[in-house]
Amino acid sequence: MNTPLKQHLIDPEVCIRCYTCEMTCPLQAIEHDDNNVVVNAELCNYCMDCIPVCPTGSIDEWRVVNNAYSLEEQYSWEELPEQQEIAADNGDADLDALDEAMAKLLADAHQGAGGKSKAPASAAKPTINLYNLGKPVEAVVQGNFRLTEDGADTHVSHIILDFQGHPMPVLEGQSIGIIAPGTDGDGNPHLPRLYSVSSPRDGERSGYNNVSLTVKREEHGICSNYVCDLKKGDTVSVTGPFGATFLLPDDPEARIMMICTGTGSAPMRAFTMRRQRAVGSENGGMTMYFGARSPENLPYHGPLKKVPENLLKQYLVFSRVEGMPKEYVQDRMLMHQAEIGEFLQDPNGYVYICGLRGMEEGVGEAFEKIAKGINVDWTNLRDSMREEGRYHVETY
């Protein structure tokens, strides 16, 4: 068996022991005793036949492991073990340096939090660095759809990558690296560019091993143009996953505030879909401030209109609509000072900021004003929120 391995497991806390999966599996990979229903990692070939027949969804659990959990271990479980942090050991100093370069890129992107970020206490454990430049994984493009309208001045694409039989265990808020083909001016392969995952952990389509990205075409940009030009069926070299702090709390009561511009909406889409699938509308609440030049330039403008208000409260603001005053996310935040002031002081309120680096200043100033209104020093409040895993910034 190749390692690390993506192991198919069953959640013993949710499973109702109806054995439909066992009767469905064409390889007899599923068996049971008086306690649990379990999957034999030696036999399961990820055919997915058992996923749609399970009435509880307990069959759709996956962990990336270096050594597969044995049947004996699975029989003894009362609950599923958490995903352990797994990092690939490539044993190559040059490649270790590249992993460090990726880590530095992420640390730079998180600088706006004012210090070293921490993951929310209830967040699932992420897998990181499973694939790198020396050992990338091949994904197949399942679809590439333009999100911004044809006449819009920005081109943003929604790309779906299918990892087929290969494990790609991503959590919402993580990024993956894409390696553009060819070499740079020095004849070295292009370094991977990071892109936030915009689909939830169980796939763009629930139960499928696929991941979506939200990529903006940059003029003269090597990787963004490569990605935006990909066609269905093309293969792509991928590294990652990366990022261990910009993660969603698993606590359904957690309140989430998302502030984003442009492709910064990618992780926010993943968060929203995760909440919708895992907890539904009965949750602590999600609010989004989303800025773009105009509705035509706002990725996911159409689909967002279909998201119910009791799942996600949306404030879409535009800075370049003819005949309308310019409005930025911070302007709208300042219209809600009392609510945001209360939110910042709630130990269960989590803030996520993502988008172009330029947005940090205005959003920071708005928070400063809001904090002043509740007689709190913003820097102290931000630092304590960050320590509690409640304040997250990813800008690039």
Q: Which residues bind ligand SF4 (CB under 6 A)?
A: 8, 10, 15-21, 24-25, 27, 29-30, 37, 39, 44-50, 54-56, 58-59
Q: d(Cα 110, Cα 112) in Å, to the nearest integer?
A: 6
Q: d(Cα 269, Cα 260) in Å, to the nearest integer?
A: 11
Looking at beta carbons only, is 24 or 83 nearer to ligand SF4?
A: 24
Residue from 25, 21, 23 nearest 11 by CA: 21
Looking at beta carbons only, is 43 or 338 nearer to ligand SF4?
A: 43
Q: How far is the CB of 2 from ligand SF4 (least distance, A)?
A: 16
Looking at beta carbons only, is 60 or 394 nearer to ligand FAD?
A: 394
Tell me the site size for ligand FAD, rule CB under 6 A.
Answer: 22
Is the distance from CB of 36 to CB of 10 less than 8 angstroms? yes
The binder of 214, among ligand SF4, ligand FAD, none, by C-beta within 5 to 8 A per type, is ligand FAD
Task: Give the interface segment with ligand FAD, choosing from 48-56, 136-144, 213-221, 376-384 (CB under 6 A).
Answer: 213-221
Cβ neighbour number for residue 367 with a 10 Å cutoff: 25
Residue from 246, 4, 6, 253 nearest 126 by CA: 246
* Residue of 216, 274, 386, 390 interacting with ligand FAD (CB under 6 A): 216
Give me the 260-289 binding string for ligand FAD, x by CB under 6 A, dash otherwise. ---x--x-----------------------
Q: Segment 7-26, which members bind ligand FAD (CB under 6 A)?
A: none
The binder of 197, among ligand SF4, ligand FAD, none, by C-beta within 5 to 8 A per type, is none
Q: d(Cα 161, Cα 198) in Å, to the nearest integer?
A: 11
Looking at beta carbons only, is 9 or 156 nearer to ligand FAD?
A: 156
Looking at beta carbons only, is 65 or 109 nearer to ligand FAD?
A: 109
Q: How far is the CB of 25 from ligand SF4 (least distance, A)?
A: 3
Q: How far is the CB of 14 from ligand SF4 (least distance, A)?
A: 7
Is the distance from CB of 225 to CB of 212 less than 8 angstroms? no
Using Cβ positions, the residue closest to ligand FAD within the complex turns out to be: 221
Could you say whether residue 392 binds ligand FAD (CB under 6 A)? no
* Residue of 11, 218, 368, 383 interacting with ligand FAD (CB under 6 A): 218
At 232, list the tokens: 């269905």
Question: 255-261 and 286-292: which strand pairing?
Answer: parallel
Looking at beta carbons only, is 54 or 130 nearer to ligand SF4?
A: 54
Q: How far is the CB of 260 from ligand FAD (least distance, A)?
A: 10
Q: Segment 149-188, which members bind ligand FAD (CB under 6 A)?
A: 175
Q: d(Cα 146, Cα 141) in Å, to the nearest integer?
A: 14
Burial class (CB in 10 A: 0-12, 13-18, 19+), 374: middle
Strand runs labelled E in the chain: 5-9, 30-32, 37-39, 61-65, 137-146, 156-162, 175-179, 193-196, 210-216, 235-242, 255-261, 286-292, 313-318, 349-355, 391-395
The binder of 371, among ligand SF4, ligand FAD, none, by C-beta within 5 to 8 A per type, is none
Q: Which strand (E) or helix (H) includes residue 384?
A: helix 378-387
**Residues in contact with 254: Cβ distance below 8 Å, sequence separation at least 6, in sequence order:** 120, 122, 248, 283, 284, 348, 349, 350
DSSP secondary structure string for all residues of 296-314: GGSTTHHHHHTS-TTT-EE
At 292, list the tokens: 């773009």
* Residue of 9, 176, 194, 288 interacting with ligand FAD (CB under 6 A): 194
Could you say whether residue 196 binds ligand FAD (CB under 6 A)? yes
CA distances from 47 to 37, 51, 180, 212 (A): 18, 9, 30, 21
Looking at beta carbons only, is 182 or 323 nearer to ligand FAD?
A: 182
Q: How far is the CB of 42 from ligand SF4 (least distance, A)?
A: 11
> Would you tell me which residues interact with ligand FAD (CB under 6 A)?
105-106, 109, 175, 193-196, 214-216, 218-224, 263, 266, 394, 396
